[in-house]
Structure 1
Amino acid sequence: MTGSRPLVSVICPTYNRSEAIVRTLDSVRNQSVTDWELLVMSDGSTDDTEDWVRAAAHQDRRIRLVRTARHGHPSGPRNEGLALARGAYIAYIDHDDVWRENHLAVVLSLFEEGGELVATGFECRNRNDEVTSVSDAFGLCWHPELQVLGPVFEPSRVAHRAGLAERVGGWRAGYGLEDWDLWLRLADAGSVFTTAQDRTTELFDDPGTRRFATPLRHRLPVASFDDPRHAQAVLRELQDGRHEAAFRAAAAADTRAWFARLRTTAEFSTPRGWDTDLDAKLDAAITKAAADAPSPWPDLVLVPEKGRFVVAQRLWCSTAEHAARVVELTHRTQRAQFALVEEIVRETTGSPAVPAGSGAR
């Protein structure tokens, strides 16, 4: 490796990936942009992963193996990688993902257009190399409120200007969703995502990955009852498929109203090249998203709480503080859906539900 400063520092945390990591390393080596360094941060690997990385580094001096103490979580290795990175820009790649050869070129073009925190499109593939999902332009729209409610943009799709992550405390360890946590803290600090529709990343989609093992520890209260029989009856009714069409229509109405408001703010952004005929594009995308979404209330549970019985939706976020924000924003932006819940409660129990409140657990 030369002493000159590379344009991009790529950080790849790994643990016991063995020969399979070569495909990820090769995807970086095959980039059309060549001015990069790749820091492979081995989290105390105990297999032959490091031997494969050393072999790649011997062939390509831009690759550097760094062994860390065992963290058991990718945040620690990523932070150590940030401390060693010399590039003007930081890009991430997970050890089971790959980049297409234009990834860094697209990323750098977004920086050249003024971006400081950028993301690209994706294609998900399973163990059989079958495509399981792909990104669309609607999913690349961004606003701080969208960042609160959704775990958008996996690390392999994201890059930022050097120093940006450290200014908000870097990567945090936890039981999952550390990328969502960092992007949210960056948004709170005023950073805005700039995105491109180009599907430059191939993400590994498998139930064995950490993302699928994230425990759902927090809840969104939907309705609260004094009588457990009423709570059980409403839970069954909300899970009944005969209400699905009404909930999808309510979700589409809520989303249209929400996006109409978001569009009036300076923070709202759309992926590059998607700003013409935006009203029609958003309307079509919202209609499709409502039709394609999973069944409403997919993770409803009934929990006793302070002498009451709460029907609640389990939340996929990592901290109680974040969960409280999700609850507040959800109740504020999904009014048609909660009005439908109230209607179902009245029809089922003969009386209104006790307000569930805005707290989260």
Structure 2
Amino acid sequence: MEHAPEPRVSVICPTYNRSRAILDTLASVTAQTVTDWEMLVVSDGSTDDTDDWVRHGARTDPRIRLLRTERHGHPSGPRNTALAEARGEFVAYLDHDDQWRADHLEVVLSLLEGGAELAATGFELRDPRGTLRAASQPYEMCWHPEFQVLGVVFEPSRVAHRRGLAERVGGWRAGAGLEDWDLWLRMTDAGARFTTVADRTTVLLDDSGTRRHRIPARHRLPLAVFDDPRAARSMLELLRSGRDAAAYRTAQLADTEEWLARLVADERFTRPLGWQGDPAAEIARARRSAPDLWPDLLVVRWGERYAVAQPLRCSTAEHAERVTSLVRRSQPRLFALLDAAAAECARTAGNLTGAGRR
């Protein structure tokens, strides 16, 4: 009896209580121009009829397989379950509320079979009614290990990699933070590099109800740290007032231009294949148009002290420390201004304390 050939790529799709809507995601895979795939849909203890709809899809196309796990409440466990079952040479991820353009697998497999370890594509962001909200730009597909430290960079539905790469760095990890940011960073630390294209082959759902919008920010990037909570509140009010916003913006842009020039000259810097634009100029232009340097500042306890800080949705304290260190190294002019403002606020708080004691 002949055995079916091994699939070239395993598509991993964790799901929970998606019901009939999962059929749209399945359809975007069955419509792929590449046909030698398997799709592992992992139901994370769904309590509705999601499993029945997946079974319906599997009866229509036997390349679809339903796997069921006990409830994890997090997609990392289901993804690891699927990795253990995957038979393809390559692995691609698809979240249950996202969809692919028909040539998505063709595009990522061309990168992987051309020697890439990790592949990522561009995206469209659409709301539940299908209205286009945003779309990736070519400069956003540039990559460098320092970009990977600082930001999420690529959502799972846009990424594919060689089988075994995730397991070699410990697999998907649950926790408080963005698990894809965590895994791509561990892959990067192990020496893996992204190859990217500007093609928008993925449609991501833009919906405030999705899990990504509910992930808490458990870690912080401190901009200034104080002994006196009044000094911290004064610094927060100063930054929110916009008094020195122009100076901060000028310093940040000068720092960013120098930082990007260094990264672009690094052999590890990746630009999307076929794109001949100027990444430093494009990224700097995007920074200049950003509406606010610090939209989410807050005052938090910092050990026995108090910090004015930005929330970070990374998974570990060690990662947050790396972000903080890299931001300070790459933004020296900006932090010189912040340090001067912090010293001013600390002096003011000290004078108020002294006045209160007289």
Partner AA of 2:296 in structure 1: D
The question of whether the paired residues in 2 share the 8 Å contact of 1:249 and 1:290 is answered with: no
- Bigger drift between 65-74 and 236-245 goes to 236-245
Contact kept, 8 Å, 1:13 with 1:74, in 2: the verdict is yes
Q: 1:271 Cα shift?
A: 0.8
The DSSP-based 3-state class of the residue aligned with 1:199 is: strand
5 Å-filtered alignment, 1:228-243, equals: 228-243=229-244
Root-mean-square deviation (Å): 2.0
Deviations 1:159-216 (A, max 9, x none): 0011111111111111341111110000000000000000000001111111111111
Contact kept, 8 Å, 2:176 with 2:218, in 1: the verdict is no
For these two proteins, the number of residue pairs brought into alignment is 349
Deviations 1:224-246 (A, max 9, x none): 23343332222111112343333
Aligned twin of 1:311:
308
| Equivalent residues in 2 for 1:11-30, closer than 5 Å | 11-30=12-31
Aligned residue among 264, 281, 287 for 2:284? 287
Deviation track 1:328-352 (CA, whole Å, cap 9, x = no partner) reads: 1111111122122134345656689
Residue matched to 1:226: 227
Confirm whether residue 297 of structure 1 aligns to residue 298 of structure 2.
no
Q: Cα 1:22–1:343, aligned 2, differ >3 Å: closer, same or farther?
A: same
Structure 1 contact 176–210 (Cα < 8 Å) conserved: no
Distance apart, 1:307 and its partner CA: 4.5
Q: Which residue is equivalent to 1:81?
A: 82
Per-residue CA deviation, residues 4-44 of structure 1 (Å, 9 max, x unaligned), is 10111101011110000000000001111111111111111
Equivalent residue, structure 2, for 1:332: 329
Could you tell me how far 1:293 is from its partner in structure 2? 2.4
> How many angstroms apart in 2 are the aligned matches of 1:171 and 1:310?
31
Deviations 1:278-301 (A, max 9, x none): 5xx224312321133241122222
Give the corresponding residue for 1:180: 181
**Counterpart residue number, 2:116:** 115
Instruction: Give, as a single letter, the amino acid of the residue that structure 2 aligns with 1:3.
Output: A
- For the residue of structure 1 that corresponds to 2:336, the secondary structure is helix
The CA distance in 1 between the partners of 2:33 and 2:197, in whole Å, is 17
Match of 1:253 in 2: 254
Larger deviation: 66-75 or 241-250?
241-250
State the identity %. Answer: 60
- Name the residue aligned to 2:191: 190
Residues 251, 333 of structure 2: 8 Å contact kept: yes
- The question of whether the paired residues in 1 share the 8 Å contact of 2:16 and 2:45 is answered with yes
CA deviation vs aligned residue, 1:229-279 (integer Å, no higher than 9, x gap): 3322221111123433333332222221111111232211111112x3x5x
**Aligned-pair CA distance for 1:2:** 5.9
Q: Give the residue type in structure 1 aligned to 2:54.
A: V
Where in structure 1 are there 5+ consecutive unaligned residues? 354-361
Contact kept, 8 Å, 1:76 with 1:171, in 2: the verdict is: yes
For the pair 1:152 / 2:153, whether they are aligned, the reply is yes
Q: Which residue of 2 aligns with 1:205?
A: 206
SS at match of 1:328: helix
Tell me the TM-score normalised to structure 1 length. 0.91
Matched residue type, 1:211 = R
Give the alignment's TM-score, normalised by structure 2.
Answer: 0.92
Equivalent residue, structure 1, for 2:354 = none
1:31 counterpart SS class: coil
SS of residue matched to 2:213: helix
- The residue type paired with residue 311 of structure 2 is R
1:38/1:2 CA distance change after superposition, 3 Å = farther
Distance across 1 between alignment mates of 2:152 and 2:12: 20
Shift of 1:68: 1.5
- Whether the 8 Å contact between 2:256 and 2:284 is mirrored in structure 1 is no
Structure 1's 301 and 88: CA in aligned 2 closer, same or farther, altered over 3 A?
A: same
One-letter code aligned to 1:146: F
Per the alignment, residue 356 of structure 2 pairs with: none
CA distance in 2, matches of 1:270, 1:231: 40
Partner SS, residue 72 of structure 1? coil
Mark the CA change 1:113 to 1:228 in structure 2 (over 3 Å): closer, same or farther. same
* Contact 2:264–2:280 under 8 Å retained in 1: no
Distance 1:69 1:350 in 2: 56
**Cross-structure match for 2:130:** 129
